[in-house]
Amino acid sequence: MDFGFTDEQTMLGESLARTLERGGDAAALSELGAGLALMTEEAGGFGGSGPDILMVFRTLGRAAAVTPLLDSVVLGAGILSAAGEADLAEAAASGEARIAVALEEPGQRYDGKVSTRAEGERLSGEKSLVPGAEDATHLIVRATDGLWLVEAGAEGLGLRGYALMDGGRAAEVTLMDTPARRIGDAALLDRPLAAAILAVCADALGAMEKAVQLTTDYLKTRKQFGRPIGSFQALQHRMADLLTEVEQARSAVWNLAGNLDTADRDRHVAATKSLLGRVALYVAEETIQLHGGIGMTEEYELAPLARRLLAADARFGDSDHHLERFIAASAA
Amino acid sequence: MDMSFSPDDQAFRAEVRQFLKDRLPARLSEKVRLQQELTKDEIEEWHAVLNEKGWLAGNWPVEFGGAGWTAIQRHIFEEESALAHAPRILPFGIAMLGPVLQKFGSKEQQDRFLPRILNGQDWWCQGYSEPGAGSDLASVKTTAVRDGDDYIVNGQKTWTTLGQHANWIFCLVRTDPTAKAQEGISFLLIDMTSPGITVRPIVLLDGTPEVNEVFFDDVRVPTENLVGEENKGWTYAKYLLTHERTNIAGVGFATAGLAALKRVARAQQAQGKPLIENPLFAARLAEIEIDLMAMATTNLRMLAQAAAGQVPGAESSMLKLKGTQIRQAINDLTRRAVGPWALAFPSEALEGANDDLPPGPPEAAAATRAYLNNRKLSIYGGSNEIQRGIIAKSLLGL
């Protein structure tokens, strides 16, 4: 039994953290090979396992970094690779191409209902909350009969962009007789989507760890009534509960990372995402409260972390959605 | 990262499972499954079976007659035992006193007491808490005053679990009333048949006399029964408490409890359907199961760290906190699952012997008792508030 990382994974995590500290952008991350670390060897990368994804995204979460790695690589390149689109998958992993994945449709919550249709080689419909759509070179669109590839700037493709809570951007996408190429069945989504959920959970874990670290430092240095506020038992006990829940989140992420490619994957996806969503909200709320007024300000480092934690719950199904999936998977 | 057990550990698990299948009497496992109280004889019977196999003291080194298991082997044994509804091994002699005698006891004390723990001649109980010394254990007031080759002991211990069956008690006593709280305490072994000892049962709110008060009135204890040095007892007490914290997460108990809860929820009907299909109930159940999956992995991570030679710090306090929260949540949901049958409350201690079977499914009466009894989980072994203090201190250092 071994819950550690390989030397390569540890080294990648460390150099990634250093690059992010220096303010490294997407190009710097590509240069480091962060994208290739998220792809298996068959897909032209040098990683792609659960622990690889865990290491990269926990590091990104700690730095509250906004990158295309989740949508363009884990999800986008993952789907392309599963579909046999090796060249475009490698281009996405190395950062030469940018993929946006259009799964949701307006008003469907997390139900995954799709009404976008193909007629011949053309797609029509509306997709919602498509992260990275404005910067994408290609869109993967889920339609009623499977997955389709659409090139940026294609005829009849409309984008209405907006900011997201975690610092990224997304768009509402309209397709009107837009030229497209079918790349495979929706079942190709299974593993890439599970990997993307692991990535979101690992990212949230990193954000929680950083939020806890900020809070710890604050409780030690902030003085009221002539003493550090961390000396007050009311705050100490809240801090202890916080730490205990983050430990639960850490183990849940390990469970999913260790089961990403086992027969028990779906049950672990549901369990981990449900627990992470629940703990993420709790950590966001508690770390703001423990800071007091300063925790409310945009200027302070906690703000993007707290929003990132809220975003993690809302992405790919919230804690209630995955609780229901867990119940269904347990009954099966 | 490799979350599977080694081939050796898997083989060990298979061996334990087979042993339990062959040697655990169904009459005992059935009582444990229904959370009925075991008699003294029944507990001793299971101890004897384990001792014959050499498995009674998994945590003791082989030189003292233990099995010398690794932390992971002990975890496997505890988990399989809980899943098979084996009686739990009494912790007082095996988990608590044994390690203290092995580390701090004299050769004579080791030779005299350790074999008697294994072969069942002695039943030990713990004389730590007092009416005025609970979480603040170092404030014990029971005194031991030197008189020739004896100590004269006066005072009172309380919450003495199963003390009604014990013939020996290990006690923290004050030998230097002038010293600072922690520095005047000694660790004394006392024969419960000594004149001047009175044991009075305390009936708990689950209706069982599980714990006792023990009164000492001029009790003579030979000085040879002092463990280690006089006034160094606090060191030994703390060492004992670290051993009390092994298996602190109770993963096996929780796993067995969850399986029992699911059986009840499948059998109970609510609005014409099995209760387990009720969405509100299913959600409560699923949250507990998800928490347990994560906590079990935390436990394994700590075991793997221990196997790699690292000393656990605040993690064992987190396991106590989360482990007891999960077990209490399981008890709570089981009590809810039996619905109105939870009202039946047969208690020999409260109403005298009564052979009438309570109404409802056999789990029903046990569900209320277990719920009430396990309120203790967050109080004993260092209350959960004490654990929160330890966690915060390790993080904040304030």
Residues B258 and B294 in one domain: yes
Q: Which of A5, A216, A255 sits opposite B294 (nearest CB)?
A: A255
Q: Environment class of residue B53 by beta-carbon count within 10 Å: exposed (0-12), middle (13-18) or buried (19+)?
A: exposed
pLDDT number for residue B243? 64
Residues B149 and B286 in one domain: no
Total number of domains constituting chain B: 3
**Mind listing the pLDDT tens digit for each residue in B260-270?**
999 999 999 99
Superfamily of structural domain A7-93:
Acyl-CoA dehydrogenase/oxidase, N-terminal domain (1.10.540.10)
Closest A-chain CA to B1:
A3
What are the pLDDT tens digits along chain B (398 aa)? Answer: 888 899 999 999 999 999 999 999 999 999 998 888 899 999 999 999 999 999 999 999 999 999 999 988 999 999 999 999 999 999 999 999 999 999 999 999 999 999 999 999 999 999 999 999 999 999 999 999 999 999 999 999 999 999 999 999 999 999 999 999 899 999 999 999 999 999 999 999 998 899 999 999 999 999 999 999 999 999 999 888 776 566 789 999 999 999 999 999 999 999 999 999 999 999 999 999 999 999 999 999 988 888 887 777 788 899 999 999 999 999 999 999 999 998 888 777 777 776 667 778 878 878 988 999 999 999 998 899 999 999 999 988 87
Cα–Cα distance measured from residue A4 to residue A59, given in angstroms and rounded to the nearest whole number:
15
Q: Chain-centre distance of CA B13, in angstroms?
A: 22
Cα–Cα distance measured from residue B172 to residue B359, given in angstroms and rounded to the nearest whole number:
45
Q: Where are the alpha helices (DSSP H) in B215-356?
A: 233-244, 251-267, 279-307, 314-337, 348-351
Q: How far is B131 from chain A (nearest CA, A)?
A: 24
Q: Which CATH architecture has domain A99-184?
A: Beta Barrel (2.40)
Q: Does residue B96 belong to any structural domain of this protein?
A: no
Q: Give the pTM.
A: 0.95
Question: How big is the A-B interface in CB pairs under 8 Å?
Answer: 127
Of residues B178, B179, B173, B184, the one with CA closest to residue B219: B173
Q: Which of B1, B317, B398 sits opposite A2 (nearest CB)?
A: B1
Q: Environment class of residue A106 by beta-carbon count within 10 Å: exposed (0-12), middle (13-18) or buried (19+)?
A: exposed
Q: Which residues of chain A, if any, have pLDDT below 70?
A: none
**Mind listing the pLDDT tens digit for each residue in B207-224?**
889 999 999 999 999 999
Under 8 Å between Cβ of B86 and B46: yes
Residues B134 and B214 in one domain: yes
Considering only CB atoms, which chain B residues are within 8 Å of A56? Answer: none
pLDDT number for residue B244? 59
- What CA–CA distances, in Å, run from A1 to B249, B250, B303? 19, 20, 9
Of residues B390, B37, B391, the one with CA closest to residue B207: B37
pLDDT number for residue A262? 94
Cα–Cα distance measured from residue B71 to residue B306, given in angstroms and rounded to the nearest whole number:
7
Q: Is the C-alpha dihedral spanning A66, A68, A71, A74 positive or negative? A: negative
Considering only CB atoms, which chain B residues are within 8 Å of A251? Answer: 294-298, 301
Measured N-to-C along each axis, helices A265-291 and A190-221 cross at an angle, to the nearest 10 degrees, of 20
Q: Which of B1, B295, B393 sits opposite A251 (nearest CB)?
A: B295
Residues B218 and B284 in one domain: no
Q: What is the three-class DSSP state of A184? A: strand
Cα–Cα distance measured from residue B127 to residue B284, given in angstroms and rounded to the nearest whole number:
39
**Mind listing the pLDDT tens digit for each residue in A186-244?**
999 999 999 999 999 999 999 999 999 999 999 999 999 999 999 999 999 999 999 99
Contact between B318 and A244 using a beta-carbon 8 Å cutoff: yes
**Which residues face A92 on adjacent strands?**
none
Contact between A243 and B385 using a beta-carbon 8 Å cutoff: no
Q: Is the C-alpha dihedral spanning A172, A177, A178, A182 positive or negative? A: positive
Query: Strand B197-202 vs strand B273-274: parallel, antiparallel, or unpaired?
Result: unpaired
The long-range contacts involving A298-306, CB below 8 angstroms and separated by at least 24 positions, are A301/A214, A302/A211, A302/A214, A302/A215, A304/A64, A304/A166, A304/A167, A305/A64, A305/A207, A305/A210, A305/A211, A305/A214, A306/A211
Q: Which of B295, B317, B396 sits opposite A220 (nearest CB)?
A: B396
Is B244 one of the annotated active-site residues of the chain? yes
Cα–Cα distance measured from residue B304 to residue B62, given in angstroms and rounded to the nearest whole number:
22
Those residues of chain B whose CB sits closer than 8 Å to some CB in chain A are 1-6, 9, 72, 282-283, 286-287, 289-291, 293-298, 300-301, 303-304, 307, 314-315, 317-318, 321-322, 385, 387-389, 391-393, 395-398
Q: Does residue B42 belong to any structural domain of this protein?
A: yes
What beta strand segments (E) does A137-273 contain?
138-143, 146-151, 157-163, 169-179, 181-184, 223-224, 227-228
Q: How far is B354 from chain A (nearest CA, A)?
A: 40
Chain A interface disruption, residue of B5, B70, B288, B290, most A CBs within 10 A: B290
Q: What number of CA atoms fall less than 13 Å from residue B31's CA on the CB side?
A: 13
Closest B-chain CA to A272:
B290
Residues B264 and B378 in one domain: yes
Residues B77 and B137 in one domain: no
Superfamily of structural domain A189-331:
Butyryl-CoA Dehydrogenase, subunit A, domain 3 (1.20.140.10)
Cα–Cα distance measured from residue B127 to residue B108, given in angstroms and rounded to the nearest whole number:
22
Considering only CB atoms, which chain A residues are within 8 Å of B293? Answer: 252, 255, 271
Considering only CB atoms, which chain B residues are within 8 Å of A244? Answer: 318, 321-322, 391
3-state class percentages of chain B: helix first, strand second, coil last, to nearest 5 = 55, 15, 30
Q: Chain-centre distance of CA B290, in angstroms?
A: 25
Q: Which of A237, A241, A248 sits opposite B294 (nearest CB)?
A: A248
Cα–Cα distance measured from residue B302 to residue B18, given in angstroms and rounded to the nearest whole number:
27
Considering only CB atoms, which chain B residues are within 8 Å of A252? Answer: 290, 293-294, 297
Cα–Cα distance measured from residue B41 to residue B57, given in angstroms and rounded to the nearest whole number:
19
Under 8 Å between Cβ of A97 and A91: yes
Residues B75 and B192 in one domain: no
Considering only CB atoms, which chain B residues are within 8 Å of A3? Answer: 1, 3, 300-301, 304
Of residues A93, A96, A114, A94, the one with CA closest to residue A105: A114
Residues B268 and B389 in one domain: yes
Query: With left for phi above 0 and alpha for psi between -120 and 50, is residue B39 left, alpha or beta?
Result: beta
Residues B225 and B258 in one domain: no
Under 8 Å between Cβ of A146 and A161: no
**Which residues face B157 on adjacent strands?**
B214
Q: Does residue B380 belong to any structural domain of this protein?
A: yes
Residues B380 and B319 in one domain: yes
Q: Does residue B119 belong to any structural domain of this protein?
A: no
pLDDT number for residue B354? 67
Contact between B300 and A1 using a beta-carbon 8 Å cutoff: yes
Q: Does residue B242 belong to any structural domain of this protein?
A: no
Of residues A17, A109, A30, the one with CA closest to residue A65: A17
Cα–Cα distance measured from residue B229 to residue A279, given in angstroms and rounded to the nearest whole number:
48
Q: How far is B363 from chain A (nearest CA, A)?
A: 23
pLDDT number for residue B397? 86
Contact between A1 and B293 using a beta-carbon 8 Å cutoff: no
Residues B149 and B56 in one domain: no
Cα–Cα distance measured from residue B190 to residue B195, given in angstroms and rounded to the nearest whole number:
11
Q: How far is A40 from chain B (nearest CA, A)?
A: 16
Q: What is the ipTM of this complex?
A: 0.96
Chain B interface disruption, residue of A247, A272, A276, most B CBs within 10 A: A247
Residue that the structure tokens 């392309």 belong to: A80
Reading the block at residue A13, the tokens are: 């995590």
Of residues B132, B143, B136, B24, the one with CA closest to residue B85: B24
Q: Is the C-alpha dihedral spanning B220, B222, B227, B232 positive or negative? A: positive
> Structural domain boundaries of chain A?
7-93, 99-184, 189-331
Of residues A145, A131, A141, A139, the one with CA closest to residue A68: A131
Residues B218 and B252 in one domain: no
- What CA–CA distances, in Å, run from B323 to A74, A295, B69, B315, B352? 35, 31, 23, 12, 35
Q: Which of A247, A259, A326 sits opposite B290 (nearest CB)?
A: A326
Considering only CB atoms, which chain A residues are within 8 Å of B398? Answer: 219-220, 228, 230-231, 236
Structural domain for B221, as ranges: 124-231
Q: Which amino acid is at A218?
A: Y
Q: How far is A22 from chain B (nearest CA, A)?
A: 28
pLDDT number for residue B304? 86
Q: Which of A51, A230, A326 sits opposite B1 (nearest CB)?
A: A51
Considering only CB atoms, which chain B residues are within 8 Å of A1? Answer: 2-6, 9, 72, 300, 303-304, 307
